[in-house]
């Protein structure tokens, strides 16, 4: 009986830890959801016509290349309007070869502007410093490396530009480099939340500001709000249930 009680006690404590994590995530989701719901969703035409723009606005539009044409994603060579690339070196912690640890060699994302077009017009988007959510992966490759220790002679670019989505995760005992790439393609629909800024040419564009970082997502406003509500529901449920379980267990042990 004591062994079963101890096991249930550990399970309850583990659930409380999980519940606390989920509650913190739920509170973060709630703040995110309220920001989304309290920010005006405008068309590009309405945004261009504002004389006194608010600090943050939302736009749902299709991505188009900027005036200089589409970008080329470095690893997959895919035409795009935005990309992010990453190279991570998996190497042994010590010369004894005890286990692998990751060491990021490269993290780069494009900052060239592109257009956002809806049924009412278009406007310029400046993605410098943007937080891009749910971007589509276009390259994911793991290349075994002879450089098992340190960062010397470890290439930050894959050996060829051939597009691949082969598994990039290394095996448990294989040092090497994982190369990953994400991209937003022309014609892809985006939900954008950012600060409307009027440039020197008088045109309103969406960009980041200290108060409103630019966020781009391939999910819709409704999908983002629904995901936040689901996180809130889970976070507000697990922790009280775990506390109730622990309280019931302690009461049972005291009466027993």
Instruction: Note whether residue 226 is domain-resident.
Output: no
Instruction: Note whether residue 108 is domain-resident.
Output: yes
Instruction: Compute the distance between CA of residue 156 and CA of residue 146 in angstroms, rounded to an integer.
Output: 14
Question: Which pLDDT does position 126 carry in this prediction?
Answer: 93
50 shares a domain with 31:
no
Instruction: Compute the distance between CA of residue 30 and CA of residue 17 in angstroms, rounded to an integer.
Output: 20
Range of the domain at 22: 1-38+231-256
256 shares a domain with 164:
no
55 shares a domain with 21:
no
167 shares a domain with 83:
yes
Instruction: Note whether residue 167 is domain-resident.
Output: yes
Mean pLDDT of 239-244: 69
* SS3 at position 73: coil
47 shares a domain with 3:
no
118 shares a domain with 62:
yes
Instruction: Note whether residue 242 is domain-resident.
Output: yes
* SS3 at position 67: coil
Instruction: Note whether residue 7 is domain-resident.
Output: yes
Total structural domains within the chain: 2
Instruction: Compute the distance between CA of residue 30 and CA of residue 36 in angstroms, rounded to an integer.
Output: 10
126 shares a domain with 22:
no
Nearby residues of 33 by Cβ (< 8 Å), 6 or more positions away: 224, 225, 228, 229, 232
151 shares a domain with 103:
yes
pLDDT digits (tens, 9 = 90+) for 5-24: 666 667 667 777 777 888 88
Hey, what are 143's tokens?
């290349």
Question: Which pLDDT does position 96 carry in this prediction?
Answer: 56
Instruction: Note whether residue 170 is domain-resident.
Output: yes
Instruction: Note whether residue 149 is domain-resident.
Output: yes
pLDDT digits (tens, 9 = 90+) for 27-85: 998 998 998 899 999 999 998 888 888 899 999 999 999 988 999 999 999 999 999 99
What are the counts of helices (DSSP H) followed by strands (DSSP E) for the chain?
Answer: 3, 13
Burial class of residue 213 (count of CB atoms within 10 Å of its CB; 0-12, 13-18, 19+): middle
Question: Which pLDDT does position 152 carry in this prediction?
Answer: 58
Instruction: Note whether residue 102 is domain-resident.
Output: yes
Q: Please count the other Cβ atoms lying within 10 Å of the Cβ belonging to residue 211.
A: 8
30 shares a domain with 46:
no
Question: Which pLDDT does position 97 carry in this prediction?
Answer: 55
106 shares a domain with 155:
yes
Could you identify the residue written with the tokens 């294989």? 174
178 shares a domain with 98:
yes
């Amino acid at each position: 009986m004591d062994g079963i009680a101890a096991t249930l006690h550990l399970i309850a404590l583990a659930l409380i830890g999980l519940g606390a994590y989920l509650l913190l995530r739920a509170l973060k989701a709630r703040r995110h959801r309220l920001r989304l719901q309290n920010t005006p969703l405008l068309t590009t035409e309405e945004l261009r016509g504002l004389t006194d723009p608010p600090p943050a606005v939302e736009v749902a539009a299709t991505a188009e290349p900027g005036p200089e044409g589409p970008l080329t994603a470095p690893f997959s060579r895919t035409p795009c309007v935005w990309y992010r690339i990453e190279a991570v070196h998996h190497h042994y912690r010590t010369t004894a070869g005890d286990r692998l640890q990751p060491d990021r060699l490269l993290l780069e994302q494009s900052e060239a502007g592109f257009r956002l077009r809806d049924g009412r017009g278009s406007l310029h988007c400046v993605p410098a410093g943007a937080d891009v959510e749910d971007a589509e992966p276009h390259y994911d490759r793991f290349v075994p490396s002879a450089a098992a220790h340190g960062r010397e002679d470890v290439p930050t670019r894959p050996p060829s530009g051939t597009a691949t989505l082969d598994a990039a995760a290394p095996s448990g005992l294989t040092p090497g480099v994982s190369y990953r790439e994400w991209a937003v393609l022309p014609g892809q629909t985006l939900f954008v939340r950012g600060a409307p800024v009027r440039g020197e040419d008088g045109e309103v564009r969406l960009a980041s500001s200290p108060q409103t970082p630019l966020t781009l997502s391939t999910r819709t406003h409704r999908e983002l709000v629904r995901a936040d509500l689901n996180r809130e529901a889970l976070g507000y449920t697990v922790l009280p249930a775990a506390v109730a379980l622990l309280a019931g267990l302690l009461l049972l042990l005291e009466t027993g």
